[in-house]
Amino acid sequence: MSAQIFEEMDVWKRGCRQGVTVCRLIQDWRNFALRDQITRAAVSVRSNVAEGYERDSDGDFRRFLRIAKGSNAELRTQLYIASSLGLIDETARKTLINESKEISAMLQGFIRAIERRSIPLNPET
């Protein structure tokens, strides 16, 4: 896979869908601190994929993919907390956690592939 633009990357698309789903789910929460933290983590995943890609450097891209992976883990942790507090139901938690784990695996696969140089950042490089 060699994406011409970050918007073509499946991991970015899934991160976007995940972010929108999470933001819609929590938009009416009165626990503002947790809502803000979850929103920032959810948005950070896709933002870091995009920012890293646009840096035009394999090293920077890997670094930002790792940051995205960390934000994704942060989001998962916050979803567990929200579930424990009764803010989200078990079905929503399981769905979001599973999606988060799949996105994390995609990010890790991308990191490894770039390290092996099997996926060039841009076709020109």
Residues 23, 39 contacting (CB under 8 angstroms) = yes
pLDDT over threshold 60, residue 123: no
Residue whose tokens read 């390290």: 115
Q: What pLDDT score was predicted for residue 119? A: 52
Give the start-to-end residue ranges of the domains of the chain.
Answer: 6-115
pLDDT in tens, 70-98: 999 999 999 999 999 999 999 999 999 99
pLDDT at 122: 56
Encode 47-70 in three state secondary structure. Answer: HHHHHHHHCCCHHHHHHHHHHHHH
Mean pLDDT of the 98-102 span: 97
Residue where the block lists tokens 């789910």: 25
* For range 30-49, the mean pLDDT: 95
Exposure on the CB side of residue 111, measured as CA atoms within 13 A: 17
Is residue 22 predicted with pLDDT exceeding 80? Answer: yes
Q: What residues have CB less than 8 Å from 52, skipping those under 6 apart? A: 60, 61, 62, 63, 64, 65, 67, 68
Running DSSP on this structure, what letter comes out for residue 118? S
- DSSP symbol at 88: S
What pLDDT is attached to residue 125?
Answer: 45
Q: What is the mean pLDDT of residues 32-39?
A: 95
The CATH number of the structural domain formed by 6-115 is: 1.20.1440.60
Report in angstroms the alpha-carbon separations of 58 from 32, 45, 63, 113.
37, 18, 9, 11
- pLDDT number for residue 2: 57
| Average confidence score pLDDT of the chain | 91
